[in-house]
Structure 1
Amino acid sequence: MPDNTYLDEDLVNNNNKSNKSEKKKFPYEIKRVDPDINKELLDVFSGEKTTFVQVGPHKYIFPSGYEKNAENYYNFEVRPDDTWIITYPRSGTTWTQEMVWLLTNNHDYETAMQIPLVERFPFLEFSMCVHPEIKAQILKENNSSKKSQDIVEEICSPAWKILKDQNGKRFIKTHFPFSLLPPNLLTAGCKVIYVARNPKDVVVSYYHLNRLFKTQGYQGDFKQHVDFFMRNLLTWSPYWCHLQEAWELRHSKNLLFMFYEQMSKDLRQSIKKVSTFLEKDLSEKQLDKLENHLQFENFRNNESVNSGFLADLGITNNVQGFVRKGKTSSWKDDATADLIKKMDKWIEDNLKNTDMRFENF
């Protein structure tokens, strides 16, 4: 189970009293993964060229780019009017981002359609996934267009630097667990939404994402991907520690913990719940329009959230869009009976350690 460093009252109080510009030492050890495991990962994840690292007692795993920025993520200055979305990858992040942005920005659909979601709602740690060799390769592929190269440079720049200099209300997406985020995140006054999704659907969607992005460049098969997932070797894993950290904080005033399955089952009620948490009034007319906007067939055809321009730049492969099926129980289409049995046992073993439960999977 996760430790409670994040809830340490002395740590929070000391943080509030300290000078905002004073950096705190990163509290966890960062170690390279075992050489044999690293070779196993590098053989199928072509986006990483150096090594994977493991962080802290739960051994959260990240590409090599994490190490040099760990303190910057941990010391990122939180503002009271920030809005954060935190998830393990492929847990309804994009869907929730679009909902939250529109609720908080007076349902400005015109701007939402004109400005890509990745720009409206920056991904805090994406730059750590961009190995210098992959970045150089992508820049070379765009050498005929200075404009395209400038966009690549902007996308690959550390978001924590960009957000630090951003004026006005900020919207921040991250896949980091709470223990690796600023210790005052839930006491600074900002709003934080965490979305959890059942592991079977997560691992299917994550498999397709890791194949989609050249920064990951996954070249193995689905069975091997599931094996990495259950061995806690996919980036941002361990999955169960990630969720459990959030689950233990779910009663915090400024945190809303949601399940993707509940959102899918009753989108309308979920919109109401989020709007109440964000303290935003919502008329029936606004609710109708937002519900329709977020219906999955409409959502997956929305270029602003589907990031098609990333394929034009060569950051993603042309195998599919960023937004896929969005349905629950999609794992039934991809997993064999033996693989499902193996996962069921793994899930059963891990659920013994928590009172967190998923619906319909």
Structure 2
Amino acid sequence: MADKNYAAGGIYDDILTIKGTPTINKDDLGAPFPVHNVNGFFYPQAIKPTIHDYMKDLEVRDDDIWFFSYPRSGQHWTWNIVYRLTHDLKEAPKGMEEFCMPELVTHDVISSVPSPRIMRTHQLPSSIPQTVWKKKCKAINLVRHPKDVAYSFFKHQTTLLSYGYDGTWEGYLPMWLRGEVAWNDWFKHVQEYKKLAENVDMLFLTYEEMKKDTLGTIKKIAEYLGVRWSEEDYKQLIDETHINVIQSRNQTWDVYARGGQGADIMFRKGQVGEWKQHFTVAQNELFNKVYKERMKGMPFVYDDLLDS
């Protein structure tokens, strides 16, 4: 694995190459958003159109640890914590997160990752290899307040050039609420994983919980994974994975960012409640209305926290 090139100009160039001919969705103000429509699921145009067939053939290992989350929910942060917990508290090689995301790499690449692999994905349960559950892999489902997700995803998708989208927040939000952006529908994602969790062993975490009690959450993760470190180790882990530390990695993404602003692609601000600075009153009312309609009959952690 040491021979792999994780640096910009290596794996990132391959990952961000447009693959196939995209379908053009449009936001509410007419701005085009190219996506791959795979059996009704929307993916970025840099994701191979054969992604579902690819996932069916993915070899799963007994000791794999799988992350499931909608984008912009803290997956990279949590991934780095879990990697250290399971790799003698050492920092992951630069770019390893991309090698562990099956949507982004070939079977040869992902099979070259040493065990235990910390696999991460944004896909829905229907396209996850079912051997994940047969082999009883550890699984972590991470969610974040949907309003923070929506705005953070807007910044991400309008900054990363490979998305090919440069619309406005006003045009984007209604499209996001309909689930027509690349990486699909937040509502469908949380609902399907919530239903799946009724029948499989899966650790459920919220981004807000991790921010409020990082130490307690790290201990919870460690217990679930069956690893144990000292109190001092956990506190050091918090310091070494703090947003202010890992933001230094954003410079890798500058070359792939609109205006060279790599910070808006990956590790942004990590704040809870930033949505309040960007939603208008009308946007907030629309969001709450859609949320209540889409989540009707399925109680969820954010039901009573929409405006907080």
TM-score category of the 2 structures, normalised to the smaller one:
0.7 to 0.9
> What is the distance in 1 between the residues matched to 2:289 and 2:209?
24
Aligned partner of 1:77 among 55, 59, 65:
59
- More relative contact order, 1 or 2 (CA 8 Å, 6+ apart): 1
How many residue pairs are counted as aligned between the two chains?
279
| DSSP 3-state at the match of 1:282 | coil
Deviations 1:316-340 (A, max 9, x none): 3312412111111111111111111
Cα contact 1:45–1:216 (8 A) shared by 2: no
Is 2:253 aligned against 1:310?
A: yes
TM-score, L = length of structure 2? 0.82
What residue in structure 2 maps to residue 60 of structure 1? 41
Matching of residues 282-321 of structure 1 within 5 Å: 282-300=229-247, 303=248, 306-311=249-254, 314-317=255-258, 318-321=260-263
Is 2:156 aligned against 1:209?
A: yes
> What is the distance in 2 between the residues matched to 1:214 and 1:81?
35
Matching of residues 248-263 of structure 1 within 5 Å: 248-252=195-199, 254-263=201-210
TM-score, L = length of structure 1? 0.71
Cα contact 2:141–2:203 (8 A) shared by 1: yes
Give the partner amino acid of 1:225.
Y
What residue in structure 2 maps to residue 186 of structure 1? 133
Judged with a 3 Å threshold, the aligned counterparts in structure 2 of structure 1 residues 214 and 278 are, in CA distance, closer, same or farther, namely same
Cα contact 1:121–1:173 (8 A) shared by 2: no
Judged with a 3 Å threshold, the aligned counterparts in structure 2 of structure 1 residues 278 and 171 are, in CA distance, closer, same or farther, namely same
Is 2:100 aligned against 1:122?
A: yes
Matching of residues 31-110 of structure 1 within 5 Å: 38=24, 40=26, 44=31, 48=34, 52-55=36-39, 59-63=40-44, 65-109=47-91
Cα contact 2:160–2:256 (8 A) shared by 1: yes
> What is the distance in 1 between the residues matched to 2:231 and 2:25?
55
> What is the distance in 1 between the residues matched to 2:209 and 2:250?
26
Q: How far 1:307 moved relative to its partner?
A: 4.1
Cα contact 2:99–2:113 (8 A) shared by 1: no
**Which of these two proteins has the greater Rg computed from alpha carbons?**
1
Give the partner amino acid of 2:186.
Y
Cα contact 1:82–1:190 (8 A) shared by 2: yes
Identity value in percent: 24
Mean Cα deviation higher: 315-324 or 196-205 = 315-324
> What is the distance in 2 between the residues matched to 1:269 and 1:100?
14
Task: Tell me which protein shows more helix as a share of its residues.
Answer: 1
Q: How far 1:218 moved relative to its partner?
A: 2.1
Give the partner amino acid of 1:308.
Q
